Amino acid sequence: MAKKNNGKVVNGSIFFTDKEEPESFSISNQFAEHLEFTLVKDRITVTKDDAYYALSLAVRDRMVRRWLRTQREYHIKDPKRVYYLSLEYLMGRLLGNALINLDYYEECRELLKKDGYNLEEIKEYEHDMGLGNGGLGRLAACYLDSMATLQLPAFGYGIRYEYGIFAQEIENGYQVEYADYWLKNGNPWDILRRSLQYRVKFYGRVEKKVYPDGTYYFDWVDTDDVLAVAYDVPVPGYKVKNVNNLRLWQAKAVSDFEFSEFNRGDYVEAVAKKNDSETISKVLYPNDTYVEGKFLRLKQQYFFVSATLQDIIRKFKINHDNWEDFPEKVCIQLNDTHPVVAIPELMRILIDQERLGWEKAWYITTRTFAYTNHTVVPEALEEWNEKIFGELLPRHLQIVYEINRRFLEDVKKNYSADEAVLEKLSIISSGPEKRVRMANLAIVGTFAVNGVAELHTHILKTRIFPDFNKIYPKKFLCVTNGITPRRWIRAANPELSKLITSKIGEEWVRDLSQLKQIENFVDDAAFRKKWREVKMHNRRLLIDYIKNENNIDVNPDSIFDVQVKRFHEYKRQLLNVLHVITLYNRIKDNPKIKMVPRTVIFGGKAAPAYYAAKMVIKLINSVADVVNNDPDVGDKLKVVFLKNYSVTLAEKIIPASDLSEQISVAGLEASGTGNMKFAANGALTIGTMDGANIEIREEVGEENIFIFGLLAEEVVELKAKGYNPRKYYESNPSLKRVIDMIASNYFNPKEPGIFNDMINGLMNVDYYCVFADYQSYIDTQDKVAQEFLNQEEWTKKSIYNVARIGKFSSDRAVSEYAKKIWNVKPVKLNNGNSNHD
């Protein structure tokens, strides 16, 4: 039975008020106060960075009452809540976004102007909150924005890494990584919750304890403990009063006095050990679709999961004392397999601490968790060496074994007793090195498993987990990814936003399907002209940036042909380079050739240990050196590698782009979200029938997108028949020439042989079918160039892309999660008459 909630605000003393802020609560006053009293600066000593910090605090102040009120309201109304567990949040900068969501941007800019400050300039001093690698982490950030905007009682949980995604430098064309100490100037956005600390256990052993009546339970003892301390980041919804919470955990040594070494007087050893505990939240693992299987990573996962579950259960117990209510009140969304250890952890808590029987505990667990799969790339499917798992989490390993035993019993009884089938389904792999398969555990221990695009979900059901799909036919579903229009159009592309708003009003920012209305203006030549002017404005900003960063002069009338994303072989930046070299050869063959000028822009990071991907970066920079310095080429072709791609850089690049490269080998990009951001900013896509490209094509119309290459099933067939890349090389002179140039060190005369491995890989295996798709890609790129010549038609296509992108709003995606999976409903905070409470 639910505990009765009397709904009282705990403390009504003079320090706490629900009142609207007085008029004097102006941003200028607060900004000035923070400069003076928080930062202790005056007009003479103040720096731009101080201005950023003080302004952020002032903006945060404006959210505080809404933030408190939202949390209070969730507490009082006690609706079902959703907890989003993600090891990554790629938030980017927060200031501009907070101002937009508070509907306070313009007013703030004007007020600051009066005081002699420039908001645009101040914003540049914010360091990206880069606590994620790529698509998965950015998706989590978009979903936070939508959950708040949709007024859902939602809570994000993650880790407050001291070092975010590494800073990328390019030295002699190679990627070099530097630590990203994003907290070096402090962080005005998060608040340390002094009183919120949880103890997280590691290692130790399991003791069986017997009650006098003969029943028994297991106790996890002799553990090595670490504290998780909470930092909260406000997540304001767009033009609503709800401010949700993102809670990030930081590791802290349990107590300075608990070290035996300390008591023995070994001070240095004690402090070193303290640092050991604190390394847990030190650094984000810099791999996206690749698993390293490192001990510290598992520690991070459990650290975060344990603290989060303790927190969720604490909140649940405030209003409830019956565990059966748990799945009615709590839904936990697992973002990929990274937090899946939450499943045995909840079982452990329910069985060992709450003393529930196995069946009841399992019933509750499997109705609480849902799992999103984000990749089918085999090397990204997490598996833990059983020994590592058992050493760190001995009780959890026992529980996983028991889950597996019961599950396989069930399978044998109801599905199949075939050894090969059982081995595939087993949570523990067989063989000499046993491994815990986190995806299998996730599927068995949750009530919903979703893919992130239609094709991806289909592949999950038919190719990756077909038996699971037969066993649980209703469990697998699709929620196609989405992006937040607040950051990716409204904030990143103010000029386009203004133009759109001037025609259809501003509602599209909240309801992206409204963009459909701009189709009405496709035939309006004046509108199309303005559309092009916006693009040119954005291009000029990017041109200045490129000049500053890379000292390259870019032709403003060239096609801005852009591929920005993580570097991975399956994403095939290499195919793009082969096209660049093909164009270069055409120019070299005929320097007077008339061709549509192109600027090919790349950006993205490779995992530091991913040699093949790093060599693609080196190749791009080598090709750029030759192409950009060849007088025959002039401004017909430029190649630009923009270092240190980040959310903030994406916001500069995407609005300036004409062509969006989404060219993964079909079947491997689960969804992609960059594809959506580009289309939403009026770039046309050149892409394969992969991930969400397929759905983008469905929405924008096949005449407004450039599709090429093998289909996913054709890739499978080709490989089944025995793919021979050499055949393509031998029969295609243009491809042969390009490959021979790379192989003969044309682009790297001073470092001969560095691309040998790459060439051998392509010629002999070409796992990602670069050769097979080469000609189709080149032909399609030629079509792109041809169509770009007709600017009026191109503009129409660009408008159609934006007008028809509504489906890919993260608001739509999150509403689907809320309805199809979470079963959570909005909690509307009644709107006061002021924006400033």
User: Which residues lie near ligand 9GP (CB under 6 A)?
Assistant: 134-136, 139, 288-289, 336, 374-375, 380, 452, 481, 669-673, 691
DSSP H or E stretch at residue 588 = helix 573-589
DSSP H or E stretch at residue 786 = helix 770-789
| Residue 212 token pair | 């006098």
Query: Catalytic pick from 273, 566, 636, 643?
Result: 566
| Residue 663 token pair | 């060219």
Q: Cα angle at 523 between 520 and 527, to 5 degrees?
A: 85
| Shortest separation between residue 231's beta carbon and ligand 9GP, angstroms | 24
Task: Measure the CA–CA gap between 86 and 336, rounded to whole angstroms.
Answer: 8
Task: Measure the CA–CA gap between 62 and 26, rounded to whole angstroms.
Answer: 9
| Shortest separation between residue 693's beta carbon and ligand 9GP, angstroms | 10
Contacts of 410 (CB under 8 A, 6+ apart): none
Which is nearer to ligand 9GP, 310 or 375 (by Cβ)? 375
Query: Catalytic pick from 365, 673, 685, 795?
Result: 673
| Shortest separation between residue 566's beta carbon and ligand 9GP, angstroms | 8
| Shortest separation between residue 817's beta carbon and ligand 9GP, angstroms | 13
| Shortest separation between residue 369's beta carbon and ligand 9GP, angstroms | 18
Q: Closest by alpha carbon to 367, among 828, 837, 822, 824?
A: 822
Is there a catalytic annotation at residue 338? no
Query: Catalytic pick from 62, 160, 374, 539?
Result: 374
Q: Which residue has the tokens 């089938």?
A: 421
Is there a catalytic annotation at residue 565? yes
Is there a catalytic annotation at residue 516? no
Which is nearer to ligand 9GP, 481 or 657 (by Cβ)? 481
Residue 602 phi, psi dihedral angles, 5° rounding:
-120, 150
CB 597 within 8 A of CB 587: no
CB 675 within 8 A of CB 693: yes
Task: Measure the CA–CA gap between 510 and 228, rounded to whole angstroms.
Answer: 36
Bridge partners, residue 56, by sequence = none
Which is nearer to ligand 9GP, 277 or 289 (by Cβ)? 289
Which is nearer to ligand 9GP, 710 or 813 (by Cβ)? 813
| Shortest separation between residue 147's beta carbon and ligand 9GP, angstroms | 16
CB 711 within 8 A of CB 666: yes
Q: CA 256, 259, 265, 266: dihedral to nearest 10 degrees? A: -100
CB 190 within 8 A of CB 261: no
| Shortest separation between residue 24's beta carbon and ligand 9GP, angstroms | 45
- Rg of the chain taking only CA atoms, in angstroms: 28
Per DSSP, the three-state class of 132 is coil
Contacts 24+ apart (CB under 8 A), 190-197: 190/160, 190/231, 190/232, 190/233, 190/248, 191/231, 191/232, 191/233, 192/229, 192/230, 192/231, 193/229, 193/230, 193/231, 193/232, 193/247, 196/229, 196/230, 196/311, 197/227, 197/228, 197/229, 197/230, 197/252
Closest CB to ligand 9GP belongs to which residue? 135
Which is nearer to ligand 9GP, 39 or 139 (by Cβ)? 139
Which is nearer to ligand 9GP, 78 or 669 (by Cβ)? 669
Task: Measure the CA–CA gap between 281 and 526, rounded to whole angstroms.
Answer: 54
Which is nearer to ligand 9GP, 247 or 677 (by Cβ)? 677
Three-state helix/strand/coil letters over 45-93: CCCHHHHHHHHHHHHHHHHHHHHHHHHHHHHHHCCCEEEEECCCEEEEC
Contacts of 271 (CB under 8 A, 6+ apart): none
Query: Catalytic pick from 461, 571, 605, 836?
Result: 571
Task: Measure the CA–CA gap between 403 and 343, rounded to whole angstroms.
Answer: 10
Q: Please return the burial class of 505, using the count of CB atoms within 10 Å of its CB with bins 0-12, 13-18 and 19+.
A: exposed
Which is nearer to ligand 9GP, 82 or 87 (by Cβ)? 87
Contacts of 754 (CB under 8 A, 6+ apart): 615, 618, 745, 748
Which is nearer to ligand 9GP, 86 or 622 (by Cβ)? 86
Task: Measure the CA–CA gap between 370 and 786, rounded to whole angstroms.
Answer: 47
| Shortest separation between residue 662's beta carbon and ligand 9GP, angstroms | 10
| Shortest separation between residue 135's beta carbon and ligand 9GP, angstroms | 3
Which is nearer to ligand 9GP, 813 or 827 (by Cβ)? 813
| Shortest separation between residue 88's beta carbon and ligand 9GP, angstroms | 8
Q: Closest by alpha carbon to 15, among 58, 65, 70?
A: 65
Query: Catalytic pick from 677, 796, 797, 807?
Result: 677
Is there a catalytic annotation at residue 566? yes
Which is nearer to ligand 9GP, 500 or 814 (by Cβ)? 814
Residues tagged active-site: 374, 565-566, 571, 673, 677
